[in-house]
Amino acid sequence: MKMLINVAETVVTDALRGMAAAHPELVVDVDNRVIVRRDAPVAGKVALISGGGSGHEPLHGGFVGPGMLSAACPGEVFTSPVPDQMARAAAAVDSGAGVLFIVKNYTGDVLNFDMAAELAGDEGIQVAKVLVNDDVAVTDSLYTAGRRGTGATLFVEKIAGAAADEGQPLERVEATGRQVNENSRSFGVALSACTTPAKGSPTFDLPPGELELGIGIHGEPGRERRAMMTSGEIADFSVGAILEDMSPRNPVLVLVNGMGATPLLELYGFNAEVQRVLAERGVPVARTLVGNYVTSLDMAGASVTLCQVDEELLRLWDAPVRTAGLRWGM
């Protein structure tokens, strides 16, 4: 496989060096792998920290900045960051108002963030946690006890980030993040496997005429394989799977997310089908975001995330944000 890299061993380090050069508004500690807002700590503000394996960009480092995260900790490709990274990040961004860890539900991430919370607590830092587990496709996957954390991570980081930037206290920011997660559901589809730099070949075998329904963001198996379907058929299946698990009473935020190798031409076409299904099912749409936000290296495919919102959550979603991967209103 051809990749725009030097060697597999330095992929993450090289990316962090490039990110530092492109974004002077961030402090990128390449050696310790911590990305921090340059203005942190912000007096009186709850700090938000997230992280996970590299390969999902712009998640999480691309969401560090005003309106979202205070810091992010990238691990090796598809590998959890270590507790020392999160503890170092917490020390860098804590203003005394506390720190909220936003954790995708993968076993390594959960264990390491819990250990980091203990380390931070030993230093007198108050830590709360929101666990993101929005994926309706499967339960108890290769890397997970319970449901996987996927696209709703973006919704949690944005909405809780807006609450924190308003100066809301830790318990309210945490409650907001938990509400967003509880109101969110996701479903993903793979048209091709991803390729990790270390392996240099596809991580699983997916024949040319087939697709995987319910794929995870690390290439974990989904619900089933089928012969290739049309965009409309995939939308029917994906949105249907989500609405089997939730019955929105309020309008929803819609994220049509590319898995890394799907062009916007296809994603916007897929969004048209997602919107059709929602209209047919009587689900009103408040806002829609289309693009590559929670990716899986070079996997072709897409995921759909719906988040039921009230007026307050919608107001926080619309609040200004300025990060490398998401920005509006500033």
pLDDT tens string 133-148: 999 998 877 667 899 9
Is 56 among the residues known to form the active site? Answer: yes
Is 60 among the residues known to form the active site? Answer: no
pLDDT tier for residue 127 given thresholds of 50, 70 and 90: very high
Q: Which CATH superfamily is domain 184-320 in?
A: Dihydroxyacetone kinase; domain 2 (3.30.1180.20)
| Beta strands 301-308 and 321-322, pairing class | unpaired
**Active-site option among 23, 33, 45, 56:** 56
Tokens of 198: 């270390």
pLDDT in tens, 303-322: 999 999 999 999 999 999 99
pLDDT in tens, 113-122: 999 999 999 9
User: What does the buried/exposed string (b/e) look like for 197-208 if buried means 16 or more CB atoms within 10 Å of the residue's CB?
Assistant: beeeebbeebee
pLDDT in tens, 255-314: 999 999 999 999 999 999 999 999 999 999 999 999 999 999 999 999 999 999 999 999
Tokens of 74: 């990238």
> How confident is the model at residue 142, as a pLDDT?
67
Pick the closest to residue 180 from 194, 192, 164, 193 (CA basis).
164
> How confident is the model at residue 1, as a pLDDT?
82
Q: What are φ and ψ of residue 203, in 5° steps?
A: -75, -15
**Active-site option among 188, 218, 239, 299:** 218
Q: Does the domain made of 11-182 have the CATH classification 3.40.50.10440?
A: yes
> How confident is the model at residue 145, as a pLDDT?
81
The ranges assigned to domains in the chain are 11-182, 184-320
Element spanning 171, H or E: helix 170-182
